[in-house]
Amino acid sequence: METEKKQIALSLIQPSGTITLGNYLGAIRNWVKMQDEFDCVFALADLHTITVRQEPPKMRKNILDAYASILACGIDVEKTLFFIQSHVPTHAELAWILNCYTQFGELSRMTQFKDKSVKHSDNINAGLFTYPSLMAADILLYQADYVPVGADQMQHLELTRDIANRFNGLYPNVFKVPKAYIPKTGARVMSLQDPSKKMSKSDENANGCVHLLDPPEVIMKKFKRAVTDSGSCVRYEEGKDGINNLIDIYGAVTGLSREQIERDFDGKGYGDFKTAVGEAVVEALRPIKAEYERLIADKAYLEGCYKKADEIALRISTRTLNKAKKKIGFI
């Protein structure tokens, strides 16, 4: 009996710093769950990273650390394609082609371009402006059916769909038009110091972001310093972003519902709850950190994993690139 072909799900993450708790709970943990349902294509988007200036030695370390960290979270290289973007030149080549089918006005409306232009006003480069075309190439090269996205990436996926439809309108049946995949469970983790903003590795306040490889004592200190409101009841309420964020994090790592958490901490204060959240996060990350330490000590194994994946990614993506080039008229 023939096995039904799985649909393709694709996602990339930038290795611009250490993987955060927000990356893990919001994306990577769902990647692990998706491996049984989809043919998954995952990658480290290091080409995207250089739109902001990087220190070369630090960047090399970040890429390897991110690769080992994501494997440690549960990505299985035997059933999932997990490669390094810059090792697969088809991404850059298709990105140039798609630049020529992407309108200036579309790129100028991208929210992240506006935000990063403000944050990096001394380096508003062309790559920062056109990186949505590279993102489109990342997705379309693998004929992805689904792309897991949060609210902050939905605009880029919509642009990718527009580019694919525009190209297919001129040259039929080149790209599959991908759909958004909204995971059944996925936490939106906010900064511990400014819970109105998403947790980010670029947070100016180091206490706002928990990193996957932070020592337990550092994690505990960050949660004990987490910003909350002037109340004391552990209750999920509108306008109480700080405690709401902690409840969501605790629920994500323990599997408990908001209602159960409120019952468990009825009569207890914020101090007790912050300690409990910190301890739960430490325990959730403990096996990941142990596996990371094992993997990062074996550089030859890591290199073997990504080189094998790079070769497969190049083979798959070359088929799509050649099809696009032929349709356009290249010899």
CATH number at residue 228: 1.10.240.10
Q: Provide the domain limits for residue 261.
A: 206-293
Q: 198 in a domain, yes or no?
A: no
Residue 194 domain-assigned (yes or no): no
If asked whether residues 94 and 152 sit together in one domain, one would say yes
Q: Give the confidence band of 1 by pLDDT, cuts at 50, 70, 90.
A: very low
Selection from 202-211, 252-261, 301-310 with the highest mean pLDDT: 301-310
Q: Is 196 part of any domain?
A: no
Residue that wins the pLDDT comparison between 84 and 229: 84
pLDDT range class, residue 3, cuts 50, 70, 90? low
Regarding whether 176 and 220 lie in a shared domain, the answer is: no
Residues 155 and 59 in one domain: yes
Cβ distance 258 to 234 under 8 Å? Answer: no
**Distance between CA atoms of residues 195 and 181, nearest Å:** 25
The predicted structure's pLDDT at residue 114? 72
Q: Higher-confidence residue: 178 or 128?
A: 178
**Could you tell me the CATH number of the domain that includes residue 321?**
3.40.50.620
Distance (Å, rounded) from C-alpha 249 to C-alpha 188? 9
Q: Model's pTM, two decimal places?
A: 0.91
Q: Is residue 246 part of a domain?
A: yes
* Same domain as 165, residue 96: yes
Tell me: do 136 and 68 sit in the same domain.
Answer: yes
Number of domains composing the chain: 2
Say yes or no to pLDDT of 33 above 80.
yes
- Predicted confidence at residue 2, as pLDDT, reads 46
The reply to whether 252 and 272 lie within a common domain is: yes
Confidence grade of residue 303 (pLDDT, cut at 50, 70, 90)? very high
Q: Is residue 156 part of a domain?
A: yes
Catalytic residues, by residue number, are 116, 198, 201
Of 235, 283, 275, the residue nearest 21 (C-alpha): 283
Looking at residue 158, its pLDDT comes to 94
Q: Does 119 have pLDDT greater than 80?
A: no
**Could you read off the pLDDT of 267-283 as tens digits, one per residue?**
898 999 999 999 999 99
